[in-house]
Amino acid sequence: MKKIFSVLLLIVAIVTFVFNRPALAADAVKGAKVFSTNCASCHAAGKNLVQANKNLKKEALEKYGMYSEEAIIAQVTNGKNAMPAFKGRLKPEQIEDVAAYVLGQADKGWK
């Protein structure tokens, strides 16, 4: 019985290791370039030229439930209200990089 359990455990470990690739970390440096080209016209220095209260500062991101990579990725990908969707314009990796950049800048106070 112990051998069967050990073999099953080994199989699960192998399958998990082989078929589950580790997630690649987003690149905030690349995100800064994408942000500068695609987002800064409305969000320079973390501001929002369309809706001033819904800016990219940490307090606003937290208040509106946007202080996570997942939330920012969804917003950039699908758009909402006055913000256009960037799905199809940017690659998913670029959107992930932008999210990492925005969160990093929010944590620094957009300095």
Strand-pairing partners, residue 109, are: none
Spatial separation of the C-alpha atoms in residues 45 and 34, rounded to whole Å? 14
| Structural domain spans, the chain | 26-108
Q: What is the chain's pLDDT, residue by residue, as a tens digit (111 residues)?
A: 767 756 555 565 565 555 544 444 799 999 999 999 999 999 999 999 999 999 999 999 999 999 999 999 999 999 999 999 999 999 999 999 999 999 999 999 998
Spatial separation of the C-alpha atoms in residues 95 and 72, rounded to whole Å? 9
Helix (H) or strand (E) holding 104: helix 92-108
Spatial separation of the C-alpha atoms in residues 39 and 106, rounded to whole Å? 15
Supply φ then ψ for residue 20, to 5 degrees: -110, 105
CATH number (3.40.30.10, 3.40.640.10, 1.10.760.10, 3.30.460.10) of 26-108 reads 1.10.760.10
The candidate with the shortest Cα–Cα distance to 106, out of 30, 45, 39, is 45
How many other β-carbons are positioned within 10 Å of the β-carbon of residue 64? Answer: 13
Largest separation between any pair of C-alpha atoms in the chain:
67
